[in-house]
Amino acid sequence: MKKLNPDKLYVEFRNSVTLTDPILGRKYTLTHSDITSNLFLTLDLQFAYDKINTMRDEVVAEWRMNNGCLFLLVYVYVDSQSDPVISISALRNEIFRRELPLALEAIIYGDRNFFVSHPNLDYASICIHFDSIYPEYNSFENWGTPRDYK
């Protein structure tokens, strides 16, 4: 697994999102540059669609609550009806799985003040939705807790 280089992570807070609040409604959009290897994390009350390119290789996440328990729901776009080539879906799935630990580390590090203010969230579940039209790549998985990526 690649380790995060904090010097290559750029964080932007938008609208009413601060270093510590809110919890519910807090959304993350993580994009990157293939040329510079820079990572760009945007925190907002909505996903930063203006940062998403046609490759659709972003990672988006948001805090949700289920049965009184907070969890981080992460969403990756493996494919859709418009790109139905299974070999491409297999490759994208492989790349997401390989790079996702780095992406999660970037989100947790980029929002580190939030986690200091809410230490109980270090133990919240991280659930990943791999979104695909193919059943073998469409899954919902538990990927540990934020503490695992610090």
Mean pLDDT by 10 residues, the chain (150 residues): 89 95 97 93 97 86 96 93 77 94 98 98 98 94 97
What lies within 8 Å, CB to CB, of 13 at 6+ separation is 19, 43, 44
pLDDT at 82: 67
pLDDT at 55: 72
pLDDT at 84: 66
Which amino acid is residue 32, in one-letter code? H
Q: Which tokens sit at 19?
A: 């270093």
**Dihedral (Cα; 19, 13, 74, 25), 10-degree rounding:** 70
- The CA distance from 131 to 119, in Å, is 30
127: helix, strand or coil: strand
Whether residue 78 contacts residue 92, with contact meaning beta carbons closer than 8 Å, is answered with: yes
- The CA distance from 43 to 113, in Å, is 13
Pick left, alpha or beta for residue 37 (phi over 0 → left; psi -120 to 50 → alpha; otherwise beta). Answer: left
